[in-house]
């Protein structure tokens, strides 16, 4: 038996319920995991609300750290007792025990804690692909990163500083701006009080930036486009304020022959070799202190409704974990 959060309809946080469910023996290629910490991410809210529709009923959650408790037939890459972590499909991380495909796991080194691993996998690997794959930033460049005090943002601030990249962040309060600067942002724009695009132009001698990383969506869409240099790349990787409304592609031409991409993590780490490479790079920077994790909120798994309300209400800073 296991405890798992389930939904039978899309909607607000109240549609989530913690239930006792049957847990069969792990099947071929699977392991049974005893989960120690679970990452909370905005995409979980999208799955719950129906913005990203899921077949119902369903569990929720995409990442966790765990200990391997049992092996299914044919599993050789991990052993009972190994500390592991994962992110992405199959959905259902909001649970104390679960079965999971062994080939989707990465091993967690001794120098990385369970809470660090659980809060790092999705957000840290997202920062990795954004800065290294979607647009490979170069030393000396200036970039714009929205929500710099969020979970992905704080990792990106540190990683960009390590790479010699000047990161301009945006934040909603002086407290969040100070945190982003502490973690490596060169400058931070208070988007509620300042004109973001105008400030970016001032900071770049009128040129704009070669790339904007935007997980906010609707509320920052125009400012993001107006912050880009000619032939700049708009990277929209989230919808925290809602989805960007339909637009005429000609706007990209009128604003400087801009590029637009809407990446997702899965397409960057579906290959096991690339996933292992990304996780190794991330964990190495954590072990050496280059990237410091920032778990600011901890909720019991039974308090998942409260956790989602805090996340959607923008009451959280840094990362949040659920503890089974």
pLDDT tens figures, 67-81: 999 999 999 999 999
Q: Which two tokens stand for residue 278?
A: 């990304």
Average pLDDT over residues 48-68: 95
pLDDT at 150: 87
What distance in Å separates the CA atoms of residue 178 and residue 299, rounded to the nearest whole number? Answer: 25
Average pLDDT over residues 256-261: 98
Domains and CATH numbers, the chain: 2-120+271-323 (3.90.180.10), 138-261 (3.40.50.720)
Confidence at 219, pLDDT banded by 50, 70, 90: very high
pLDDT one-digit tens code per residue, 126-136:
999 999 999 99
Average pLDDT over residues 175-190: 96
pLDDT one-digit tens code per residue, 95-119:
999 999 999 999 999 999 999 999 9
Confidence at 151, pLDDT banded by 50, 70, 90: confident
Whether omega before 57 lies within 30 degrees of 0, making that bond cis, reads yes
Higher pLDDT, 15 or 120: 15
pLDDT at 318: 73
Confidence at 174, pLDDT banded by 50, 70, 90: very high
Q: Inform me whether the pLDDT recorded for 146 exceeds 90.
A: yes
What distance in Å separates the CA atoms of residue 53 and residue 40, rounded to the nearest whole number? Answer: 18
Confidence at 236, pLDDT banded by 50, 70, 90: very high
What distance in Å separates the CA atoms of residue 143 and residue 13, rounded to the nearest whole number? Answer: 34
Q: Inform me whether the pLDDT recorded for 42 exceeds 90.
A: no
> Do residues 234 and 260 lie in contact, with contact meaning Cβ atoms separated by under 8 Å?
yes
Kindly tell me the sign of the dihedral angle through the C-alpha atoms of 48, 52, 57, 58.
Answer: negative
pLDDT at 242: 85
Per DSSP, what are the bridge partners of residue 298? 321
Mean pLDDT in the chain? 95
Q: Given the structure tokens 């699977």, which residue do they identify?
A: 30
Q: Inform me whether the pLDDT recorded for 46 exceeds 80.
A: yes
pLDDT at 88: 83
Q: Which two tokens stand for residue 282?
A: 């991330």
Average pLDDT over residues 142-149: 96
Average pLDDT over residues 38-54: 92
Spacing of C-alpha 73 from chain mean position: 32
Average pLDDT over residues 223-251: 94
What distance in Å separates the CA atoms of residue 313 and residue 283, rounded to the nearest whole number? Answer: 30
pLDDT at 89: 82
pLDDT at 30: 98
pLDDT at 38: 97
Kindly tell me the sign of the dihedral angle through the C-alpha atoms of 30, 271, 45, 10.
Answer: negative
Average pLDDT over residues 257-269: 96
Rounded-to-10 torsion of CA 5, 8, 10, 12: -50
pLDDT one-digit tens code per residue, 269-315:
999 999 999 999 999 999 999 999 878 899 999 999 999 999 999 88
Higher pLDDT, 239 or 222: 222
Among 235, 229, 179, residue whose Cα is nearest residue 204? 229
> Do residues 168 and 209 lie in contact, with contact meaning Cβ atoms separated by under 8 Å?
yes
Confidence at 200, pLDDT banded by 50, 70, 90: very high
Q: Which two tokens stand for residue 245?
A: 């409304």
Higher pLDDT, 317 or 149: 149
Q: Which two tokens stand for residue 111?
A: 């120098």
What distance in Å separates the CA atoms of residue 74 and residue 128, rounded to the nearest whole number? Answer: 31
Q: Which two tokens stand for residue 104?
A: 């989707």
Would you tell me how many other CB atoms lie within 10 Å of the CB of residue 139?
Answer: 8
């Amino acid at each position: 038996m296991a405890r798992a959060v389930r939904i039978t309809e899309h909607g607000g946080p109240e549609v989530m319920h913690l239930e006792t469910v049957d847990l069969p023996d792990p099947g071929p290629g699977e392991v049974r995991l005893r989960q120690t910490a679970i990452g909370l991410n905005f995409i979980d809210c999208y799955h719950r609300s129906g913005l990203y529709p899921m077949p119902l009923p369903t569990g929720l959650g995409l990442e966790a750290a765990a200990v391997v408790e049992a092996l299914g037939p044919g599993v050789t890459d991990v052993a009972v007792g190994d500390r592991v972590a994962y992110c992405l499909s199959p959905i259902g991380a909001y649970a104390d025990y679960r079965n999971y495909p062994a080939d989707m796991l990465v091993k967690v080194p001794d120098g990385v804690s369970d809470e660090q691993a659980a809060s790092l996998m999705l957000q840290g690997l997202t920062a990795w692909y954004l800065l290294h794959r979607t647009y490979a930033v170069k030393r000396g460049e200036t970039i714009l990163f929205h929500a710099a005090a969020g979970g992905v943002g704080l990792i990106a601030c540190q990683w960009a500083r390590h790479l010699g990249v000047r990161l301009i962040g945006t934040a909603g309060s002086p407290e969040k701006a100070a945190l982003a600067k502490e973690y490596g942002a060169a400058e931070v724009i208070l988007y509620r009080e300042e004109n973001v695009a105008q400030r970016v132009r001032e900071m770049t001698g009128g040129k704009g930036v070669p790339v904007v990383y935007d997980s906010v969506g609707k509320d920052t869409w125009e400012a993001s486009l107006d912050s880009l240099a000619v032939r700049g790349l708009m990277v929209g990787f989230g919808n925290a304020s809602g989805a960007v409304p339909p637009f005429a592609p000609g706007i990209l031409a009128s604003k400087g022959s801009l590029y637009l991409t809407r990446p997702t993590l899965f397409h960057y780490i579906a290959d096991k070799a690339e996933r292992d490479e990304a996780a190794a790079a991330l964990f190495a920077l954590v072990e050496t202190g280059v990237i410091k994790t920032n778990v600011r909120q901890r909720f019991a798994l039974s308090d998942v409704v409260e956790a989602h309300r805090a996340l959607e209400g923008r009451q959280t800073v840094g990362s949040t974990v659920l503890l089974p």
